[in-house]
Structure 1
Amino acid sequence: MPQQKSSQSAVRPKNRAPVLARLRQSKMTRSTHAYVRGSTVKFYEWLGEVQSHTFPEGPTIWICGDCHVGNLGPIGDASGATRIQIRDLDQTVLGNPALDLIRLGVSLATAARGSDLPGIVTARMVEALMAGYLHGIDPDAAVHLPPRPASVRTAMKAATARTWKQLARERLDDTSPTIPLGRHFWPLSREERRELKLLVSEHEVLDLIARLYEMPGEASVSIVDAAYWVKGCSSLGQRRYAVLLAVEQDRGPRYRLIDIKEAGKAAAPSASAGQMPRINAERVVTGARRLSPDLGDRMAWGRMLGSSFFMRELQPQDLKLSVDKLEQKDATVLAAYLGNIVGLAHGSQMPRDVARAWHRELRARHGRSIDAPFWLWSSIVDLLGLHERQYLEHCRAWAG
C-alpha cells in the first residue's frame, strides 16, 4: 500500500472524531428530508410514541430497517445487469415488514412537503405506496413493476450507461490507480493500513473476489491504495474505508474499488433476535442476500480493529435515487413503484400461504376516507410532525 500523501483538506486520524460529528450535524440541516435520512435512531424512538400498538404484526422476515427513498436505487449484479433494489442494509433485521412501509411513507411524504406539493398529493402517495406494495407481495399477481417514474428512468439511464472510468472519476477524481486525499478521502493510521491488509487477505474476501471474476480457487489480490472515506449522513457514525484492489489476471491487473464499512448495532427493533447472526456485519450481509440478492452476492464480512465490517465491490451501476424535488405528476407513480420494489423484496421471503395472509391483513385494514390502512396514514402524519419540529430545533442548535 503506497504511502499516504498529505492534503490541505484531509484530516489526520487523531483529529477525525470532532470533524465527523460536525459534518454529520451540518448535513442534517440541509433539509427536512436530509434530517429524516440521518435520524434513523430517533425515528424508532419516536415510532413508539405514535400508537405502535395499532401496527399489524406481519410475518417475521428480513426487513431493510432504514427504508427511505435514498436507500433504493439501481444496483448492478455480478454480470453487470441493472435492477432497482434496496441498496443500503446497515439496519437490516428480522422484523415486522410494516416498519419498512412506515419508514418509506415518511420519506416520501417529507419529499412531497419539501417540494411544496399539496397535502392531497401526500394522501394519494400513501395510497399508491400501499397499492404497489400489495401487488409486490401478492403471490398470485403477475410479476411486473408499475410504470417507471421520471426519477427512476433518469437513474436507470445513467446507471446502464456508466463505465468503470466514470465510476473512478466520480469517486476518485481520476482513473489512475490511486485514491486522492482531500475532502472525501482522509489518510489512514498505520494500524488501519495493517488491519485492512489482513482483512483483504481473509478467505471470505478472496472467495468473494474469485466469484466476482469467475476465477478458479482464490483470487490473487493486492491493495493498491486505501483511505478513510467520508461519505453519507447516517454513515458518519461508523468507520468507513475505500480500498482500491488490483486483481491479477492473464492480461494484467484489473482495478476495483471496495467499500468497507463498520457494522453497528441495528436501531430497528428485531422480532426474532435469537434467529439472527450475533455479529453485526454478518447480520448485514445475510439480510442483503435475502432482500437485495444483486447487492448481497457482491458482499462479504470480516473483523478488524476490534469490530466487524462488511464490504462490497462498487459497480458503476450502483446509484441512489435523487428525489429532492418531486413533480406532482411523478409523485404517486414514484410511490407505487417503490412500494412495489419493497413488496417484491418482502414477498420473495414468504411462503405463498403466508404472503396471502399478510396481503389479506393489510387489505382488511384499509380506511374509509383513504385507500390505505389508517395505521399507516396516521403513523406517517404523526411522525412528520415530530420530524419537522426536531429538524427546526436541530437547525437552531447548529445555526452557529
Structure 2
Amino acid sequence: MADAAHSLNLRVAAGRALRRDCPRRTHALWRPSPQRDPIAMLQRSSEDRVQHLVPIRYGRMLQSPFAFYRATALLHAFDLADTPHSGIRTQLCGDCHLMNFGGFATPERNLLFGINDFDETLPGFWEWDLKRLTTSFVLAARYRSLSDAKAREIVQRLVASYRHHIDQYAAMKTLDLWHASISFDDVRRALPAGAMRDYVGTLAERARKRTSRHAFDKMTATRDGVRRILDNPPYIFHPDASPDFARYQVNYRDVAFEMFGAYTRTLHQYRRHLIERFELVDVVFKVVGVGSVGTRCFVLLMLADDDDPLFLQAKEAKPSVLAPYMGRSQFRHQGERVVAGQRLMQAASDQFLGWTTGPEGRHYYIRQLRDMKVAVEVELMDAEMLAHYAELCAWNLARAHAKGGGTGPEIAGYVGDRPNLDLALADYAVLYADQTERDYDTFVKAVRAGTLPADTGDDRALAQTP
C-alpha cells in the first residue's frame, strides 16, 4: 500500500512539474491564425453531406452564436491547435459543449448523468475538452442576456469543480474509478434546495417517459396491415422517396438489413441473442442535431411483437475533427472509434451500441434512438441554474477524463488546488466567445449574400435539389 501511495504521489508531482513548461496562466492565451477562414471550413465540411439538407444545417446555425458554436467543432479544433497544452493526454469527448451532456439509461434502467455525444471522440489533450466546455457556457450566458462578469463567475465555478473532482478521482483505486457513476439521485443530493434541484427532478420524470414504447405511439402507424414510421419531410422521410438517394438505385430497406446483419456481429453474443428477438420492419432517414445535419442518419424500427418495439439509430461516423491535430485513430472503422470512445468515457453505455458499414463504404455506429435520453433547456435557466449545471458538467468531465485515459493523477497535479486555471480559462472562454460572435456575424453575412444557402424552418417545403 505504501508503494501505491508513493507511486500516486510521484504521478501527481510529475503533473505539477509540467507547469514549468506550460504555466497555467498561459491557458488564457489565444490568437486567431491568419489562415483561418470559417466560411471556407464550413463549406468543406458540407461537401460530403446530403446536399438538400445542408440549408437546414445553416438555418439552425443562424438562430444564435450559441447555436453556431454547436456546429463548429471543426473550426474550434483548428483554433485549439495553436493553444498551450500540458502534454497530458486522455480520451476526449472532442465536442464538449454543454448540450452534449444529459441523462441516459444504463442497461439496468438506472438514470445516469453524463456526456452523451461522442462523434468526435479521440485521445488528446484534456485541456481541449475543458476549453470547449467553458466557451459554451459563456455563449449560453450571453444567450440568456447575462453579463460577462456573471459568465466569468460561471466558468470559474466550472473549472473549480473540475479541479476538485479530478483530484478525488485521481486518488481512487482502479476498479472504484472504473465503476464510478453519477446518477440523477447523486445530482439531486449534490444540489442545494432550489430551482435547479427541482428542474433535475423534472428532467428525470421526462427521461423515464422517453422510451421506444412511448415513441412507438407517436412515430408510427399501421398501413395496409404493416407498421411503418410516419414521414415528416424534410426531417423524417423514407430514403427511397428522396431524389438525393434515388441516384444510388438501391432499396434502402434491403440495405438496412445488410447493415443490420454486420452490426449484430459487433455485439457480444448474449446481446445478439436479445437483438435477434426483434425483426427489422422499417427504415427512415432522420435529420438530427445542429452540427450533424446533412450527415446520414437512419432510424430502424424493430418489432418483437405487434406492440413490442425497439428503435435503433444508425448514425454516420466520419473521422474526428481532432484527427488532423491529434493523429489518426487506432481504429480503421470510424464507427468502432465512436463506440470505443463512448465505452471508455461513459460509466455505462447503451447495451445495443455497435457499428456497421453502409452504401459507398460509409461508416456508421448504432445505438438506441430513445433510451431515457434527455437534455437541459438553456432557455429555462437563470444565472444560478447555469452555474450549477456548469459544475455538474465539470464533475462528469473529470470522471470521464480520469477513467478514459488513466491520467487523472497527472491532470490533478497540473491543475492544483489554487484558482490559477479557473481565472485563465475564464479569460480564454470570454476571448473565444468574442471570436465566435465575430465568426457568426461573418456567417450571417455569407447567408445574406447567398454564399451559403439557409432554410430557417418555415412551413414551406424545402427544395429537393440533390
Q: Shorter-normalised TM-score: what interval?
A: 0.7 to 0.9
Q: Measure, in 2, the Cα distance between the counterparts of 1:391 and 1:319.
A: 28
Which of 46, 63, 87 is residue 30 of structure 1 equivalent to?
63
The farther-off stretch of 116-125 and 318-327 is 318-327
Q: Measure, in 2, the Cα distance between the counterparts of 1:193 and 1:67.
A: 34
Q: Deviations over 1:149-193 (max 9, x none)?
A: 3554432231134454433355x2669942111232112233432
Q: How far is 1:56 from its partner? A: 2.4
Map of 2:99 onto structure 1: 70
Contact 2:61-2:290 within 8 A present in 1 as well: yes
> Alignment partner of 1:135: what SS?
helix
Which of 87, 90, 93 is residue 57 of structure 1 equivalent to?
87
Q: Report the number of matched residues.
A: 368
Which of 337, 362, 377 is residue 426 of structure 2 equivalent to?
377
Residue type of the alignment partner of 2:438: R
Map of 1:336 onto structure 2: 391
Q: Measure, in 1, the Cα distance between the counterparts of 2:324 and 2:164.
A: 25
Q: What aligned pairs does 1:174-253 form with structure 2 within 5 A after superposition?
A: 177-183=227-233, 184-189=235-240, 190-202=250-262, 204=264, 207=267, 211=271, 215=274, 219-247=276-304
Q: Measure, in 1, the Cα distance between the counterparts of 2:155 and 2:263.
A: 46
Which of 159, 168, 171 is residue 207 of structure 2 equivalent to?
159
Q: How far is 1:398 from its partner? A: 2.1
The farther-off stretch of 318-327 and 238-247 is 318-327
Note if 1:299 corresponds to 2:353. Answer: yes
Q: Deviations over 1:51-105 (max 9, x none)?
A: x02x3222x2211000111111000111221111111100000111111111111
Which of 317, 337, 356 is residue 283 of structure 1 equivalent to?
337
Q: How far is 1:244 from its partner? A: 0.3
Q: Measure, in 1, the Cα distance between the counterparts of 2:86 and 2:294.
A: 32
The farther-off stretch of 193-202 and 72-81 is 193-202
Residue type of the alignment partner of 1:113: R
Map of 1:320 onto structure 2: 375
Contact 2:57-2:293 within 8 A present in 1 as well: yes
Note if 1:46 corresponds to 2:103. Answer: no
Q: Deviations over 1:340-372 (max 9, x none)?
A: 011111112354xx42231120127743xxx71
Q: What aligned pairs does 1:107-118 form with structure 2 within 5 A after superposition?
A: 107-118=136-147
Q: How far is 1:316 from its partner? A: 4.1
Q: How far is 1:120 from its partner? A: 1.8
Q: TM-score, normalising length from structure 2? A: 0.72
Note if 1:363 corresponds to 2:416. Answer: yes
> Alignment partner of 2:63: what SS?
coil
Q: How far is 1:300 from its partner? A: 0.2
Which of 437, 448, 452 is residue 388 of structure 1 equivalent to?
437
Map of 1:87 onto structure 2: 116
Given the superposition, is the C-alpha separation of residues 18 and 71 from structure 1 closer, same or farther in structure 2, using an over 3 Å criterion? same
Given the superposition, is the C-alpha separation of residues 277 and 318 from structure 1 closer, same or farther in structure 2, using an over 3 Å criterion? same
Q: Deviations over 1:9-46 (max 9, x none)?
A: xxxxxxx9332111000000011111111111111123
Map of 1:13 onto structure 2: none
Contact 1:177-1:255 within 8 A present in 2 as well: no
Q: What aligned pairs does 1:91-130 form with structure 2 within 5 A after superposition?
A: 91-130=120-159
Contact 2:212-2:311 within 8 A present in 1 as well: no
Contact 1:263-1:310 within 8 A present in 2 as well: yes
Map of 1:4 onto structure 2: none
Name the % identity: 21
Q: Measure, in 2, the Cα distance between the counterparts of 1:359 and 1:210.
A: 39
Map of 2:245 onto structure 1: none
What is the RMSD of the two structures over their aligned residues, measured on CA atoms?
2.8
**Bigger radius of gyration, 1 or 2?**
2
Q: How far is 1:392 from its partner? A: 1.7
Q: Measure, in 1, the Cα distance between the counterparts of 2:367 and 2:138.
A: 31
Given the superposition, is the C-alpha separation of residues 174 and 381 from structure 1 closer, same or farther in structure 2, using an over 3 Å criterion? farther
The farther-off stretch of 218-227 and 81-90 is 218-227
Which sections of structure 1, spanning at least 5 residues, go unmatched? 1-15
Q: TM-score, normalising length from structure 1? A: 0.83
Contact 1:64-1:100 within 8 A present in 2 as well: yes
Q: Measure, in 2, the Cα distance between the counterparts of 1:210 and 1:315.
A: 21
Q: Measure, in 2, the Cα distance between the counterparts of 1:42 and 1:312.
A: 27
Q: How far is 1:228 from its partner? A: 0.9
Given the superposition, is the C-alpha separation of residues 169 and 106 from structure 1 closer, same or farther in structure 2, using an over 3 Å criterion? farther
> Alignment partner of 1:111: what SS?
helix
Contact 1:160-1:317 within 8 A present in 2 as well: yes
